[in-house]
């Protein structure tokens, strides 16, 4: 049976989107989590605010999952689908996954670092939690923009 | 609305000081400015502080024990008199708890110490004689220690002068070596060259085995005692509410004592300096008059160089949103309170980011239940109200974009393409993006408009026209110019008007931005620099794309979860189908709650960011100081007397 390159490319795109963006989030949440555990060991009452900050770098993974799912359903990878995806369309879907894959990976790590610093800030000045969150969300803007372009590109592919 | 602050000077007889402070405290309207010149007797404050510390320590001790108030249990109600009456009893209880805790800590420390000794003695448990016998005598020296098993044969070298007894064998052997006192130095030096670790027996009597048994018995007893102590502490946990109330009473007393130390004194009068919000001056006056008529009170506007705290007063609807502003920064007391202007946008944008009627319903109901049952105060209450309003807005946006827990409304109602009422972000993303940018432009222009209003009020029409109105012209003009070509049926003149507006705005900036400079060349350069700001406006507007992105993030993830669960339920095998359905139902609840939680957090912070950076950046003057009046700061009870 001949390899259906369209499906292969689309699947690769979905895998990259979910895998790389998810890795970014995993690393980011991990970095922030280490800082949070340190702070909570000193002052267990800080758990709530630390957890909120730790969660913030987790969204890249969700954006990646989202794009992966949209690609997969568009290419009919989730179940029987009558249409065969052409190689060109598959490549298009692969390219469309790149913004969130790369953007999610890098911004997830960067956001994790800011979140960790924010957690240290909360440890010293609990009343400044709003500012810590704001700084962390600044990084996420670029993940959101990546998500947006990925989504528009996927949406533009005619299958 | 920013409330004007007044500087209060109050002079009255010294003997009335305590009574006056007691009257002023419930008002929560006076922030005492510490008198720096003289230091007053601190003993009253120290005593009050020690009560606070003791009670807080007692509460800490009780923390791990007994049942705690649930997420939806409201704090008990009490009057100040009631919690004050609980003080002596609570202080006695806290001493008791402290003693129990100390005993418990002693028990645990002792048990740990014993366990450590047992650990070190275990290799020696087959040592047959009394431990005290290894001290040695006039002619014999004993060495006891641990030696790596591989080094043990090396002891053979000294076999002429030493007697070796191996007590236990493992990776390291426990060994007793005996030699003549005269050979002790040689033996010691030789042992040092091996992996020898000297071991000296603890000062206990009997054989190691006996000592171990004794210590174990002792530890059992200590364990029992610790259990009993924990039981006793646990019994006391029923008094947690009393302790909490007493703690609040102690804090109230401490705050008053602290205020007392900050007040200036003369021979027979005291002199209180403080800040009072303008609308509370009458209350303060009435409170003072209820105590004495021998007083002097002066209320004046703040002078140059005095920085009053920043106080705002808003309607019940806007008030919770002050918390959102406070997370950023309190308004400068001389600026404006931005919260009333921000509130409608916050609600609107929050809902747009979640835009799912089901999630909105959950937030609304959850928020209302939380407020009703928990009766939170302060920051908690504000946030709950903000979320509740956001939930309402989310419900409406859900109708407009047609999603309910990630499902299409048409699927639920069986209607044919009635929903979405406004736009479907999935099938028409460009339309949705335009909607987001449109809202963003409105939001930003509103911010610039507020700046114009502020400048005009300060009489600075040049800033209003040249620095701000010019930007309104440029933005509106450019949008008309670029936008009208993409919409059909519009007369081309609109595009021309837009171009003219934009050019007028740009020329205004070019000519007048550097109006402080005399040099024409310098002016133009300053104007060009300012025109570069167009990129910052552009990025501000593009930033509103997050409304769309977060909206689809919620909706698509919700539908992903739905599809996953639908797959589970669609097995052809009847038994698997039933099992799958059960699992899917449980999964659906958990997954949707997770999605709701993470997206609500996202919507909250991203919405706040849009307010802080894109909106407040245009006009807001931050940097106010929090008003910290002498008042009742209760944490564990809800005070009934206000």
Is B327 in contact with A130 (Cβ distance < 8 A)? yes
Which structure tokens are listed for B152?
Answer: 């043990």
Q: Name the range with the highest mean pLDDT among A26-30, B97-101, B277-281.
A: A26-30
Strands B5-13 and B407-408: unpaired
B539 touches chain A (CB under 8 A): no
Residues of B in contact with A63 (CB under 8 A): 549, 553
Q: Which residue has the higher pLDDT, B271 or B384?
A: B384
More confident: B221 or B623:
B221
Which domain covers residue A84, as residue numbers?
5-156
* Chains A, B: CB pairs < 8 Å: 71
Chain B nearest CA to A48, separation (Å):
13
Mutation target among A137, A139, A152, A158 for the B interface, most CBs of B within 10 A:
A137
Instruction: Provide CATH code, domain B129-206.
Output: 3.30.70.2750
- Residue B365, C-beta contacts closer than 8 angstroms, at least 6 positions apart: B391
Best of A14, A99, A141 to disrupt the B interface by mutation (most B CBs within 10 Å)?
Answer: A141
Contact: B606, A138; criterion CB under 8 Å: no
Nearest to A66 among B546, B553, B601 (CB): B553
Tokens of B77: 């109600």
pLDDT of residue B203: 81
Asked if A70 contacts B556 with a C-beta cutoff of 8 angstroms, the reply is yes
Chain A residue numbers with beta carbons less than 8 Å from the beta carbon of B601 are 52, 55-56
Please judge whether B549 and A152 are an interchain contact, meaning their C-beta atoms are less than 8 angstroms apart.
no
Here the tokens at position B173 are 């052997």
Kindly state the percentage of chain B with pLDDT values over 90: 22
Tens digits of per-residue pLDDT, B319-331?
999 988 888 888 8
Q: What is the pLDDT of residues B156-207, one digit of tens each?
A: 777 778 888 888 888 888 888 888 888 888 888 888 888 888 888 888 888 8
Quick check: A148 and B557 CB within 8 A?
no
At residue A109 the predicted structure's pLDDT band, cuts being 50, 70 and 90, is: very high
Per the CB < 8 Å rule, is A130 touching B606? no
CB contact at 8 A, A59 and B594: no
CATH of the domain at A77: 1.20.120.610
Are the beta carbons of A31 and A118 closer than 8 angstroms?
no
Chain B residues with CB under 8 Å of A60 CB are none
Residues paired with B295 in a beta bridge = B12
Å between A67 CA and nearest CA of chain B: 9
Identify the CA nearest to B273 among candidates B305, B304, B293, B302.
Answer: B302
Contact between chains at B327 and A129 (C-beta distance less than 8 A): yes
Q: Tell me, what DSSP letter sits at residue B302?
A: P
Q: Per-residue pLDDT averaged across B478-488, rounded? A: 78
| Contact residues, chain A, for B608 at CB < 8 Å | 130, 133-134, 137
- Yes or no, beta carbons of A59 and B608 under 8 Å apart: no
Q: Identify the band that residue B39 occupies on the pLDDT scale cut at 50, 70 and 90.
A: low
Whole-number Cα distances in Å, B563 to A78, B179, B409 = 10, 83, 16
In terms of phi and psi (left: phi > 0; alpha: psi -120 to 50; beta: otherwise), the region of B386 is alpha
What confidence tier does B42 reach under pLDDT thresholds 50, 70, 90?
confident
Q: B591: how many CB neighbours lie within 10 A of its CB? A: 19
Region B305-333: mean pLDDT is: 89
Highest averaged pLDDT of the listed ranges B132-146, B247-261, B335-349, B459-473: B335-349
Q: How far does Cα B239 stand from its chain's mean position? A: 28
How far is B123 from B552, CA to CA, in rounded Å? 67
Cβ of B136: how many Cβ atoms within 10 Å? 14
Asked if B608 has any chain A CB less than 8 Å from its own CB, the reply is yes
Query: What confidence tens digit (pLDDT) does each residue in B70-116 have?
Result: 667 788 888 888 888 888 888 999 999 999 999 999 999 999 999 99
Query: CA B612: distance to chain centroid?
Result: 19
Nearest CA in chain B to A52: B601
Optimal mutation site among B59, B342, B549, interface A, most CBs of chain A within 10 A: B549
Asked if residue B642 has pLDDT above 60, the reply is no
Q: How far does chain A reach from its first CA to its final CA, in angstroms?
A: 22
**A151 and B602: CB-CB below 8 Å?**
no
Q: Is the ipTM of this complex over 0.90?
A: no
pLDDT digits (tens, 9 = 90+) for A117-136: 999 999 998 888 888 888 99
Count the domains in chain A: 1
Closest chain A residue by Cα to residue B327: A130
Contact: B326, A58; criterion CB under 8 Å = no
The length of chain A in residues reads: 159
Both structure tokens of B195: 């992996």
Render pLDDT for A31-78 as a digit per residue (tens, 0 to 9).
999 999 999 998 888 888 898 899 899 999 999 998 998 898 888 887
Chain-chain contact of B327 with A66 (C-beta, under 8 angstroms): no
Which residues does chain A have within 8 Å of residue B609's beta carbon, measured at their own beta carbons? 134, 137-138, 141
Q: Does B625 touch chain A (CB under 8 A)?
A: no
What is the Cα–Cα distance from B470 to B262, expressed in whole angstroms? 51
Q: Suggest the residue from A140, A146, A150, A157 to mutate for an interface test with chain B (most B CBs closer than 10 A).
A: A140
Measured CA to CA, the distance from residue B354 to residue B457 in angstroms comes to: 38
pLDDT digits (tens, 9 = 90+) for B551-585: 888 988 898 888 888 888 887 888 888 888 888 89
**A→B interface, C-beta within 8 Å:** 52, 55-56, 58-59, 62-63, 65-66, 69-70, 78, 129-131, 133-134, 136-138, 140-141, 144-145, 147-148, 151-152, 155
Where do the DSSP E strands lie in B336-480?
403-404, 407-408
Mean pLDDT of B113-140: 83
Percent of chain B with pLDDT over 70: 97
Per-position DSSP letters for A71-118, written without gaps between them: HHHHTT-SS--SSPPPHHHHHHHHHHHHHHHHHHHHHHHHHHHHHHHH
Torsional sign, CA B358, B361, B365, B368:
positive
Domain ranges of chain B: 129-206, 319-619
Which of B429, B601, B606 is the closest to A151 by Cβ?
A: B429
Q: Nearest CA of chain B to the CA of A5: how many Å?
A: 25
* B517: phi then psi, degrees, rounded to nearest 5: -90, 140
Nearest CB to B606: which of A63, A129, A137?
A137
pLDDT value of residue A64? 93
pTM here is 0.82
Tokens of B562: 């739905």
Q: Is B434 on the interface with A (CB under 8 A)?
A: no
**What distance in Å separates residue A144's CA from the closest CA in chain B?**
6
Reported as a pLDDT band with limits 50, 70 and 90, residue B418 is: low
Chain B interface disruption, residue of A49, A52, A66, most B CBs within 10 A: A66
Give the nearest partner residue to B549 out of A129, A133, A147, using CB atoms: A147
> Under a CB-based contact definition with an 8 Å cutoff, are residues B101 and B226 in contact?
no
Chain B residue closest in CA terms to A49: B601
β-partners of residue B141 are: B179
Largest CA-CA distance found in chain A, in angstroms, rounded: 64
Q: Residue A81: its pLDDT value, please?
A: 60
Which residues from B are below 8 Å from A104, CB to CB?
Answer: none
At residue A82, the pLDDT reads 61
pLDDT interval class at A112 (50, 70, 90): very high
Q: What is the mean pLDDT of chain B?
A: 86
Give Cβ neighbours of residue B493 (< 8 Å, ≥ 6 apart).
none
B346 at the A interface (CB within 8 A)?
no
- At A147 the pLDDT is 92
pLDDT tier, A1 (very low <50, low <70, confident <90, very high otherwise): low
CA distance B626 to B4: 14
Check A65 against B560: CB less than 8 A apart. yes
């Amino acid at each position: 049976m001949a390899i259906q390159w369209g499906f292969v490319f689309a699947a690769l795109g979905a895998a990259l989107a979910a895998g790389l963006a998810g890795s970014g989030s995993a690393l980011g949440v991990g970095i922030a989590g280490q800082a949070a555990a340190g702070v909570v060991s000193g002052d267990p009452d800080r758990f709530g605010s630390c957890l909120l900050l730790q969660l913030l770098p987790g969204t890249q993974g969700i954006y990646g999952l989202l794009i992966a799912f949209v690609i997969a359903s568009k290419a009919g990878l989730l179940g029987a689908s009558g249409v065969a995806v052409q190689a060109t369309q598959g490549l298009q879907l692969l390219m469309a996954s790149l913004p969130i894959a790369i953007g999610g990976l890098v911004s997830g790590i960067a956001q994790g670092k800011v979140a960790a610093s924010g957690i240290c800030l909360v440890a010293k000045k609990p009343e400044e939690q709003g500012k810590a969150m704001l700084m962390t969300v600044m990084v996420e803007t670029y993940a959101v923009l990546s998500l947006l372009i990925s989504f528009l590109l996927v949406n533009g592919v005619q299958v | 609305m920013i409330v004007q602050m007044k500087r209060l000077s109050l002079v009255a007889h010294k003997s009335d000081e305590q009574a006056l402070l007691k009257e002023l405290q419930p008002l929560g309207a006076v922030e005492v400015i510490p008198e720096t010149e003289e230091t007053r007797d601190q003993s009253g404050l120290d005593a009050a502080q020690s009560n606070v510390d003791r009670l807080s320590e007692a509460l800490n001790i009780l923390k791990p024990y007994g049942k705690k108030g649930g997420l939806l249990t409201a704090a008990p109600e009490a009057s100040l008199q009631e919690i004050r009456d609980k003080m002596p009893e609570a202080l006695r209880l806290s001493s008791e708890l402290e003693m129990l805790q100390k005993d418990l800590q002693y028990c645990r420390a002792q048990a740990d110490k014993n366990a450590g000794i047992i650990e070190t003695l275990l290799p020696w448990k087959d040592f047959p004689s009394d431990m005290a016998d290894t001290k040695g005598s006039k002619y014999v020296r004993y060495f006891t220690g641990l030696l790596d098993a591989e080094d043990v044969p090396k002891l053979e070298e000294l076999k002429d002068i030493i007697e070796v007894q191996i007590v236990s064998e493992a990776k390291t052997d426990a060994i007793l070596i005996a030699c003549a006192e005269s050979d002790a130095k040689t033996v010691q030096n030789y042992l040092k060259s091996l992996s020898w670790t000297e071991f000296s027996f603890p000062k206990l009597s009997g054989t190691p085995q006996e000592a171990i048994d004794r210590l174990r018995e002792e530890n059992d007893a200590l364990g029992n005692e610790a259990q009993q102590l924990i039981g006793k502490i646990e019994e006391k946990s029923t008094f947690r509410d009393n302790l909490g109330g007493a703690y609040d009473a102690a804090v109230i007393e401490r705050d008053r004592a602290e205020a007392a130390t900050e007040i200036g004194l003369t021979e027979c009068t005291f002199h209180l300096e403080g800040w009072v919000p303008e609308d509370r001056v009458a209350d303060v006056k009435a409170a003072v008059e209820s105590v004495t008529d021998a007083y002097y009170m002066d209320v004046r506007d703040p002078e140059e160089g005095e920085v009053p705290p920043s106080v705002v007063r808003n309607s019940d609807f806007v008030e919770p949103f002050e918390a959102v502003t406070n997370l950023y920064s309190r308004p400068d007391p001389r600026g404006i309170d931005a919260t009333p202007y921000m509130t409608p946008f916050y609600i609107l944008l929050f809902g747009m980011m979640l835009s799912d009627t089901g999630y909105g319903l959950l937030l609304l109901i959850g928020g209302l239940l939380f407020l009703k049952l928990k009766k939170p105060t302060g920051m908690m209450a504000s946030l709950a109200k903000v979320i509740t309003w956001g939930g309402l807005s989310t419900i409406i946006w859900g109708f407009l974009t047609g999603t309910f827990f990630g499902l299409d409304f048409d699927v639920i109602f069986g209607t044919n393409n009635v929903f979405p009422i406004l736009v479907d972000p999935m099938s028409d993303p460009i339309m949705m993006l335009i909607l987001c940018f449109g809202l963003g432009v409105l939001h930003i222009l509103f911010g610039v408009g507020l700046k114009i209003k502020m400048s005009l009020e300060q009489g600075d029409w040049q800033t209003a026209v040249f620095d701000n109105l010019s930007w309104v012209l440029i933005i509106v003009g450019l949008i008309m110019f670029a936008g009208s070509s993409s919409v059909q049926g519009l007369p081309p003149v609109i595009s021309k008007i837009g171009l003219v507006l934009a050019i007028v705005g740009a020329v205004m900036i070019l000519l007048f931005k550097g109006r402080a400079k005399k040099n024409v060349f310098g002016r133009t350069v300053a104007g060009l620099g300012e025109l570069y700001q167009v990129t910052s406006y552009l990025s501000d507007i593009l930033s509103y794309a997050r409304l769309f992105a977060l909206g689809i993030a919620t909706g698509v993830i919700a539908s992903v979860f739905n599809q996953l669960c639908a797959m589970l339920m669609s097995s052809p095998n009847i038994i698997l189908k039933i099992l799958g359905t059960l699992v899917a139902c449980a999964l659906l609840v958990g997954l949707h709650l997770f999605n709701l939680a993470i997206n609500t957090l996202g919507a909250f912070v991203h919405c706040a960011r849009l307010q802080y950076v894109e909106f407040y950046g245009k006009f807001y003057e931050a940097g106010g100081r929090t008003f910290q009046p002498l008042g009742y700061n209760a944490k564990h009870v809800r005070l009934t007397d206000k």
